[in-house]
């Protein structure tokens, strides 16, 4: 999904050179008048996004074929003595299957049975967990960070779900923040996670389930705070001083947009065709007045472009995510008014 079709490449390339006024924002509103979306919207194929509301329930924004609508997926338990309250951006394994962590430190699955949506409990591996990323490779895998500083994996062994503990990135170094993972040929799975020492670490798991850690260090003079990686889009990190940097053998940093400290970004996207090869991602910065910026990396240079903000909002509450729908691309981001907003480039409906 993250290797973009030529038609999309050309549309986005045109957008890269377009003035800010040519990009458009539209509001998707809130699930209910009194429910605000508090997490980024995880993309599930064409026309499906999932996010968490301020009431800790799971919500879907879905295209029905003629219009957008909100669907309330609720939460697995409403027992006041044993609640399940979702806390952060879900991670999508495949169309019809996603995972989400709770404030209680457990993992839950939401899947389509063929006739209806259902919840499944995966509990936890003996430590609270958060920050999931999911991979469908030779098997189904979900990676999370344990509160004990380890990398944990929930995987399908062919008969049942099981847990694996991949330990800490290095002796005395705890994993920190959200994981980012993808599958490459082999099959090999790569998982990226920052360490509390400010370095970026890569965990590689081969087809025989043999794993190894590698210290990818950090950009000179900086500490890695967040990471987003895709098989085609590469490895991008946000540093403690608000820079965005890319790891490709060595580190290259692209500075701050208009000297504003970057807070978080979308997953990186490769725009690849016979005409042009670009890497791009969308980022939000810190401050009381936030705008959305697009970073594009191309052979020999890079550019930041200010894509503005929705009218009537001042800040965003989580990172942007990107959906590709047919020949079109769309950016979704939740704002401080509790609504989800869509940004789309020129030429798109």
Which residues have C-beta within 8 Å of that of residue 270, sequence separation ≥ 6? 2, 3, 4, 230, 232, 233, 234, 277, 278, 279
Positions in the chain whose pLDDT score sits under 50:
1-11, 13-21
Closest CA to 77 of 66, 67, 86, 89: 86
Which residues have C-beta within 8 Å of that of residue 39, sequence separation ≥ 6? 51, 52, 87, 88, 89, 90, 317, 318, 334
What is residue 88's DSSP assignment?
S
Please report the pLDDT score of residue 14 as a whole number: 45
Please report the pLDDT score of residue 7 as a whole number: 43
Please report the pLDDT score of residue 21 as a whole number: 47
Q: Are 238 and 198 in contact (CB under 8 A)?
A: no
Three-state SS for 257?
Answer: helix
Cα atoms in the Cβ-side hemisphere of radius 13 Å centred on 278: 24
Please report the pLDDT score of residue 326 as a whole number: 66
Please report the pLDDT score of residue 327 as a whole number: 66
Please report the pLDDT score of residue 186 as a whole number: 67
Segment holding 259, helix H or strand E: none
Phi, psi angles (nearest 5°) of residue 182: -160, 165
Percentage of the chain beyond pLDDT 70 is 93
Give the strands of the sheet with 97-101, arranged side by side.
91-94, 97-101, 107-112, 117-123
């Amino acid at each position: 999904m993250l290797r973009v079709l030529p038609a999309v490449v050309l549309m986005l390339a045109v957008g890269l050179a377009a003035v800010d006024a040519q990009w458009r924002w539209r509001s998707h509103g809130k699930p209910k008048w009194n429910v605000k979306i508090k997490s980024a919207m995880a993309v599930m194929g064409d026309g499906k996004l999932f996010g968490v509301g301020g009431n800790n329930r799971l919500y879907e924004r879905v295209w029905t074929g003629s219009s957008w609508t909100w669907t309330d997926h609720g939460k697995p338990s409403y027992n006041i003595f044993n609640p399940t309250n979702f806390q952060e951006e879900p991670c999508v394994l495949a169309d019809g299957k996603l995972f989400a962590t709770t404030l209680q430190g457990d993992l839950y699955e939401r899947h389509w049975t063929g006739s209806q949506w259902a919840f499944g409990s995966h509990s936890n591996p003996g430590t609270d967990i958060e920050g999931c990323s999911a991979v469908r490779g030779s098997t189904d895998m979900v990676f999370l960070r344990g509160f004990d500083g380890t990398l944990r994996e929930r995987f399908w062994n062919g008969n049942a779900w099981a847990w694996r503990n991949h330990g800490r990135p290095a002796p005395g170094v705890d994993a920190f923040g959200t994981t980012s993972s993808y599958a490459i040929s082999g099959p090999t799975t790569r998982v990226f996670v920052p360490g509390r020492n400010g370095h970026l670490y890569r965990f590689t798991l081969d087809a025989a389930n043999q794993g190894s850690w590698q210290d990818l260090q950090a950009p000179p003079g900086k500490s890695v705070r967040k990471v987003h990686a895709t098989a085609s889009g590469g490895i991008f990190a946000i540093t403690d001083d608000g820079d965005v940097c890319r790891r490709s053998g060595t580190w290259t940093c692209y500075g701050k947009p208009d000297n504003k400290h970057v807070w978080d970004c979308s997953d990186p996207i490769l725009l690849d065709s016979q005409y042009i090869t670009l890497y791009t991602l969308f980022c939000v910065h810190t401050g009381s007045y936030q705008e959305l910026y697009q970073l594009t990396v191309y052979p020999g240079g890079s550019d930041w472009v200010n894509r503005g903000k929705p009218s009537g909002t001042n800040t965003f509450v989580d990172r942007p995510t990107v959906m590709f729908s047919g020949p079109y691309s769309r950016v979704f981001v939740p704002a401080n008014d509790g609504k989800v907003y869509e940004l789309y480039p020129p030429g798109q409906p």
